[in-house]
Structure formats: structure tokens, C-alpha cells
Amino acid sequence: MKLLRVRGEHGPIPCLLDPEGRARSVAAHVADFTPETLPGTRPALAGLDLAALPAVEAPDADLLPPMSCPRNIWCIGLNYSDHAAEAGMPVPSEPILFNKSSATYCGPFAPILHAPTMTKLDWEVELGIVIGRRTLGIGEGEAMDHVFGFTLVNDVSERAWQIERGGQWVKGKSYPNFCPTGPWLVTPDEVADVQDLGLWLDVNGQRMQTGTTAKMVFGVRQIVAYMSQFCQLEPGDLICTGTPPGVGMGLKPPRYLAPGDVVTLGIDGLGAQRQTVTPVGEQAR
């Protein structure tokens, strides 16, 4: 299944993507895709005839995140060996964990907000894991049973705040709209091999990142099992699993985003995003 949500006149419309790429409303079967409804969503939608469901117009501007705001957004740092190399840092021996504020969560075509005090605004294409049920103290062999699906994430980062303001990564990761997510939430049966997916990101049409999840230091199973030793993962929790090389900070000389820049990104089978860097206050105009 490919789940998506479309902005409607009376609120979000939960949809499935049919084989022809059309959005089909499942509002008669699931009120919305939320952390609360996610555990029962797959059984509720199993066996539906997509062609018999109402078609929904889904222009980019009306695409919401594929699930309502998660309780927690978790992140894994330096999880691609080639990205660690470009950052000049050793490959971690254990996953590096940090958080993003849930206020960062936004749709795949929402603007990246630029505040006047930002000087090193950066991009990061990432595979996102969405948890499907409460998870605590599990092993790697059980991990995929706890994964609802996968999605595309741009882990936007303000590097000056992240690195030069006391060393707290959360500080540089938590501004509003710093976590564009979607367009789809794709269940594992639709993904042939989650550890063999291509990732890419362009800025103003120039390719900046090209990578593969085969280069992840810690794979999906390892991440979910490892995290469950330290914290209780809840349905709907989003885990951003790290980025391949090509971030602005790693370029020589470094390159950062400015108002007007356009970022596009994608992952094989998970769709694509597009964001315009927009000064704070202008996004509502």
C-alpha cells in the first residue's frame, strides 16, 4: 500500500495510491492516518478494490504529510559511511541518536523556512521508518514486525546552530518545517529491499546527493532493535535514518541554502518532494 493524505475542504482525506498513480479516498474505512489509527489501518484497508474507491484530485500543493503529526521524531546521525568520511568523522560503533521537534513535521511540498539569523541552512535526503506498534526491548529478528512502512524525509538543518551554538544537534534540527515528509507512506510489502534503495537530492536543478541505503552503517532492523533497548517506540513514530554524502556542509567550499533556492529529492519507490526556501512570514502570503 502507498498511503497519502490530501487537503480537503473539511480536513485531511486519507487515500491510497492506485497502480495508475491516482489517489483514492479511503475515508469511508479509516477516518485519517494518525498514530492512534495506524495499528488498525492495514487490516481495515486489506482487500479493497481501489478502482471502486472515489478518485481524489491530489495536486502537489494539497499533499499533506502521509500521516498526522507523530508523537516522536527520532534521528540517526552519521549513518552512512561515505557521509561520515565527508564530515571528517569516524564511523560510529553504535547508532548516534537525537531528536527533532514534532513542530518540524510538514508536507513534502511545504516551504523550507529561512529566518534572518540563519547562515548555514543545509539539506539531507533520508529514508524514514514509521513504527506500526508499541516497541520495547525487541531483537533484530522481530524488528520488521514493528515497522508500518517507509517514507521520504528531508532532514533540514541549520549547521551554525547545530555545531557552533553549544554542540546540541537538536538545536540545529528543530525549526518549523525542518522535516518535510512524504509524499507517501509505503508498506514493506511494496519495497523489494529496503537496504538497496537509491536516494538523490538536487538544489536548483543541480545534483548534490546521490546515494544508496546499501551504504547505511546500521540497517533498518538494527536501528529499530537498538532504539528499543533505550526507549519505547510508539505507533507513528518517525525515525530519520541518516543521509548519504553531498550535504552543503561537506562541499569544498561549503554551500548553503538561501531564500529562493529550490530543493528536490527522492527515494526509489517512495516518491519525490520539492521545497522552496522561503523567508519566515512570507509563507502565508
- In terms of domains, do 41 and 128 share one? no
**What is the reported pLDDT for 285?**
46
183 located within any domain: yes
- In terms of domains, do 267 and 147 share one? yes
- In terms of domains, do 104 and 211 share one? yes
Picking from 64, 88, 103, the residue at the C-terminal end of a domain is 64
What domain range includes position 171?
A: 73-279
Looking at the structure of the chain, the number of domains it has is 2
How much is the pTM?
A: 0.96
202 located within any domain: yes
Assess contact for 194 and 213: CB atoms under 8 A: yes
Picking from 64, 84, 102, the residue at the C-terminal end of a domain is 64
Sheet strands (E) in 18-133: 23-25, 55-56, 63-64, 73-77, 96-100, 105-106, 112-114, 121-122, 125-131
- In terms of domains, do 118 and 162 share one? yes
Cα distance between residue 38 and residue 72, in whole Å: 14
Q: How many CB atoms lie within 10 A of CB 214?
A: 12
Assess contact for 137 and 231: CB atoms under 8 A: no
- In terms of domains, do 60 and 188 share one? no
Q: pLDDT (tens digit, 0 to 9) for every residue of the chain, 285 residues total?
A: 999 999 999 999 999 999 999 999 999 999 999 999 999 999 999 999 999 999 999 999 999 999 999 999 999 998 998 777 777 778 889 999 999 999 999 999 999 999 999 999 999 999 999 999 999 999 999 999 999 999 999 999 999 999 998 877 899 999 999 999 999 999 999 999 999 999 999 999 999 999 999 999 999 999 999 999 999 999 999 999 999 999 999 999 999 999 999 999 999 999 999 999 999 987 654
- In terms of domains, do 245 and 212 share one? yes
285 located within any domain: no
Integer-rounded Cα radius of gyration of the chain: 18
- In terms of domains, do 89 and 195 share one? yes
Cα distance between residue 75 and residue 99, in whole Å: 6
- In terms of domains, do 208 and 233 share one? yes
Q: Is the peptide bond before 43 cis (omega within 30 degrees of 0)?
A: no
**What is the reported pLDDT for 283?**
65
- In terms of domains, do 183 and 114 share one? yes
**What is the reported pLDDT for 204?**
98
284 located within any domain: no
- In terms of domains, do 242 and 106 share one? yes
